[in-house]
Amino acid sequence: MSKIRPFVLAFVLTAIASASASAETLRCRSVNNNTTCSGSGAVSCQTVNGRTVCVGGNGAAIQSFRGGAPTPEELQEFDQPGREDLDDAPPPAKRRHSINRWDANGPVLSIEQSDGRLRLHTRRTAIAIDR
Amino acid sequence: MSLRSFVLPALALFAALPASAQETGGMALRGPAAMLERLEQLQPGCRLSQTSVTVGVNRASGAHAQARQDLLTTAPGGCRPLVSTQVVAGANLGLGPGSNAEQSIQAYGPRGVLATNAYTRGYNLAAGPRSTAQQRLFNQIGR
C-alpha cells in the first residue's frame, strides 16, 4: 500500500500539470437582431428562427440571443390572402429555389429555378434553360 | 471549378425541390361540420398537400478558407393546401485553421388548412483554431 501511494500521487500531479489552463473568451454584439461574435478560439453561431446561440471554442462559453419577430416587410411580402380575397382561379404558382455560393474570391456558383426557368452561373459558364 | 464543388450544390438543389411521399394517417372528426367547413376552404386547383425540403451543406476546410452559401425556397402564393410540411436543415462546418463558413437557409411556405408541420434542424461547428462558423436557418410559415 505504501508503495502505491507515491505512484498515485505522481499520477494525479502529472494529470493536473498536463491539463491546459484555458480561459475561453467570447464577445458578442447584437444590434438590430444582427449578432456578431468573436473569441479567443473558434467561434460558431447559429440562428434558428430568430434565436441565436453562439459557442466559443470547446463549448466553454455560450451566449444566446432572442431576436425580434420577422420584419413587417418580410411578413407583408409573405402575407397569404384569405379565401374572400381570392378570385375563383388561384393566382399563378410562383415557386422559387436558389443557391448562391461564394469563396474568398467572390461568387462561385449561382443556381436559380423560378417559373419554369433554370439559370446557372459560374465563373466560366452562364446557362439559362426555359421549359 | 472542381467536380465536388459543383456536385454539392447540385445535390442541395435537388434536395430543395419538393419531395413527394406516400402519406398515411387520419383525423379525428370531432366536429364534422367544422371539418367540412375547413375542407371547403381548399381552393380549386390547389394541392391537397405540399411538402418542401431545403437542405444545405457548407464547409470551409482549408486554412483561412472562406465558404458562404445562401439557399432560398419559396412556395407558390395564394394556394393553401390541406396539409403543409416544410423542412429546413443545414450543416455548416469551419474546419480549417482561421477558416470562415457562413450559411443562410430560408424557406417560405403556406399554412395548411388542416395541419402545418415545420421542422428546422441545424448543425454548426467551428472546429479549426480561430475558425468561425455562422449559420442562419429561417423556416417561415405564411399567416
Q: Tell me, yes or no, if B67 comes closer than 8 A to chain A by beta carbon.
A: yes
Q: What does the pLDDT look like over A79-128, one tens digit per residue?
A: 444 433 333 444 445 788 999 999 999 999 999 998 789 999 999 999 99
Contacts of B54 in chain A (CB under 8 A): 97
Q: Identify whether A74 is part of a domain.
A: no
B131 to A42: CB separation less than 8 angstroms, yes or no: yes
- At A13, is the secondary structure helix, strand, or coil? helix
Residue B39 domain-assigned (yes or no):
no
Would residue A107 count as lying in a domain? Answer: yes
In-domain check, residue B96: yes
**Mode of pairing for the β-strands spanning A34-39 and A26-31:** antiparallel
Residue A17 lies in a domain: no
Nearest residue to B47 (alpha-carbon basis) of B69, B7, B18, B12: B18
Q: Which of A46, A78, A97 sits opposite B142 (nearest CB)?
A: A78
DSSP per position, B97-141:
TT-EEEEEEEEEEPPPSSEEEEEEEEEEEE-STT-EEEEEEEEEE
Kindly report the backbone phi and psi dihedral angles of residue B8, in degrees, each rounded to the nearest multiple of 5, phi listed first.
-60, -50
**Residue B24 resides in a domain:** no
Q: Cell digits for A113?
A: 429555378
Please tell me the total count of domains within chain B.
1
Chain B residue closest in CA terms to A97: B73
What's the domain range around B83? 3-18+44-141
> How close B141 comes to chain A (CA, Å)?
9
**Domain count of the fold of chain A:** 2
pLDDT category of residue A50 using cuts at 50, 70 and 90 = confident
Is position B92 within any domain? yes
In a domain, B77, yes or no: yes
Write out the three cell numbers for A126: 452562364
Residue B26 lies in a domain: no
The residue to which cell 470551409 is assigned: B60
- Tell whether A31 is covered by a domain: yes
* Enclosing domain of residue A52: 23-69
Q: Return the residue of A nearest to B45 by Cα.
A: A90
- Using an 8 Å CB-CB cutoff, list chain A residues near B113: none
In a domain, A58, yes or no: yes
Q: What is the mean pLDDT of each run of 10 residues along chain B (143 residues)?
A: 59 53 56 73 81 95 95 85 93 95 94 91 93 94 80
Q: CA-CA distance, B117 to A45, in Å (whole number)?
A: 26
CA distance A118 to B7: 17
Phi-psi region of A52 (alpha: psi -120 to 50; beta: other; left: phi over 0): beta
This model of the complex carries an ipTM of 0.70
Strand residues in A1-131 grouped as ranges (E): 26-31, 34-39, 43-48, 51-56, 61-66, 96-103, 106-114, 117-122, 126-130
Could you tell me if residue B86 is inside a domain?
Answer: yes
Residue A64 near chain B (CB below 8 Å): no
Which chain A residues are closer than 8 Å to B103 by Cβ?
A: none
Confidence of residue A75 (pLDDT cuts 50, 70, 90): very low
A-B contacts (CB, under 8 Å)? 149
Q: Domain for residue B65, yes or no?
A: yes
